[in-house]
Structures are given as C-alpha cells and as structure tokens.
Amino acid sequence: MSNTIEKIKCLIIGSGPAGYTAAIYAARANMNPVLYQGMQPGGQLTTTNEVENFPGYVDGVTGPEMMIQLQEQAKRFGADIRDGWATKVDFSGDIHKVWINDSIELHCETVIISTGASAKYLGLPSEQHYLNMGGGVSACAVCDGFFYRNQDVVIVGAGDSACEEAHYLSKLCKKVTMLVRSEKFRASKIMEERVRKTENIEILMNHDTVEVLGDNNVVHAIKALNKTSGETIEIPATGFFVAIGHKPNTDIFKDYITLDETGYIVNTPGTSKTNVGGVFVAGDAADHVYRQAITAAGTGCMAALDAERYLASK
C-alpha cells in the first residue's frame, strides 16, 4: 500500500454518461473533481455501435465516440480524468476513504459512485463474437431495436424486463421469437399475458440457446435446443437480444452503502443521496428501470449538484 494519501474534494468512481456528466458539472462548480474511469472506460456505451436516441446527435453517433467527446468536455473544464479502478472503500468515518488499484489511498470530502451495471450474457463464444463485432447481439432492445425494423429477431429471457423488451420489439420487428429457458415465466402474470397475446411474438418454452449463427460478421439465425424433446432447431433472425438481467457493479460498497436485494444502490427518492452523508450515486448503479444514456447523464448532473450543496452546507 502507498504511504502517500491524496486528499480530494470530489471523487467520481466510474465513467460513462453518468460519471462524465458529474465531472463536467463538478468541474464547472470549482470542485476539482478527480474521476477514475474504472475497468471499462466509458462504460457500457463503448460496446454500442450506434447511438441514435441521445438528444443533439441528428445523425447519430457511435458509443465510443460519444464517450470520448464527454471525456474531453469534462477535461476542458478542468476535471482530472485518470486510469484505474476502486478496489476498496471505507465510509465508516467523516473522511471517505477509497483505494485505487489496491495501492493508492484517497481521502475524499465527497464521493460520486457511477460504477454502472453489467449486462448478463449467456457466455457462448458465438454470442460474444457477434456482440464484439456489433453484428446482431444486444442486451438493450430500447437502444438497438430500431436497427431491426421489419426483421425477425430472437430474445432470450423470462422476467418482466424480457417481456417488456419483447413487447417493445414486437412493435418494430416482423417477428419476435422468445426463448424461455425453463417451463414457466419468472415475469408477473400481467407481463406474461401481454406477450402471449401479442400476435407476432412466438414463445418457445424450455429452450436453450446453443449457438448464434452468422457469416462471421452479422447474425443469420439462432440454434436452440428443445430440452423436452432433445431436438435442435434453427430460427432465422438478424438480431439476438439477451434479456437475462444486469448485475450492478457495487460489491465493494456493500458494507457501507444500502443496496437492494439485487445489488442496486438505494438512493433517497428524488435525489442522488445514499445512506452515507457525502456519498452520492449516479447512473445504472442505482437504476434498474430505465438504463439509458440520457437518464444516466441526468443523474450525473444531480449527483454533482447534490455534492456541491453538501460541501456548501459544511
């Protein structure tokens, strides 16, 4: 461990739309923010090929390009953007202690957590290949469904979010095939009934995804296994949506910050405040409902303003 302790007025843990927006606002408020980008600089949007629903980008923008622009904007106002990730925290006292890469110790007056959440994937090599290629695998129907208008797609999942995304896709796509990996839905009855009553959604119960098929660049079909009969089928599709949940990146905070049963940070409604004074949250680390770039950016603004007010009150 380092013997040198750095004192920081406003530390931002994590990047993405939430972290960078918090950095922009905090820097403009002369809070001298330091932002550590985390293990995935730029967050989940760096895996998104095209972003067409963020206001102001008339012709759309790639996820990585947008994150570079937000980072540069934060730097322009004096934010200190650094590589590295938080590996340990101690929020038990008046000074908020954070360790970076298990070696750098920081003592912070305020902390903004913007560590986000990671989409869960099936882990198939073919799934990961086409996800990285940007050629037909997605974990966000609202983000990417537009690109599959009037096409056939497959979605895997059984919860409320999967049903919501399947229903959303049904309004854009010609046909939606929903693969449910067990014999029953995990979703609420009302959500299950909604997808069952939608004409262009076909539900295949007790089916596992075996492989994502394509020409090495784009997806052409999904190979699925009927676990009841043992038969494998190929479902023609240009898009494969994975809706089996997200895992918030909040494990290192659990001893100090109140989390819900799935690990999302619980904030005071209408604010970015956590149960620890001087510690705030922005973005998907607390949002299991919307999970959009624009909402993450909005909460980044809220967190910086709340942190500024907290410092002023002291």
CB 73 within 8 A of CB 61: no
Distance CA 238, CA 122 (A): 18
Q: At what angle do helices 293-313 and 16-28 cross, to 10 degrees?
A: 40
Question: Catalytic: 90?
Answer: no
CA 185 to chain centre: 24
Distance CA 162, CA 149 (A): 18
Of 79, 89, 90, nearest in space to 9 by CA: 79
| Token code pair at residue 106 | 């920081």
CB 192 within 8 A of CB 218: no
DSSP-assigned letters across all residues of 139-199: S-HHHHGGGGTTSEEEEE--SHHHHHHHHHHHTTSSEEEEEESSSS--S-HHHHHHHHT-T
Q: How far is CA 245 from CA 36, 44, 71, 159, 308, in A?
A: 26, 14, 28, 8, 34
| Token code pair at residue 183 | 């014999």
Question: Catalytic: 144?
Answer: yes
Catalytic residue among 143, 152, 163, 306: 143
Catalytic residue among 140, 163, 173, 287: 140
Question: Catalytic: 260?
Answer: no
Distance CA 236, CA 221 (A): 4
The catalytic residues are: 140, 143-144
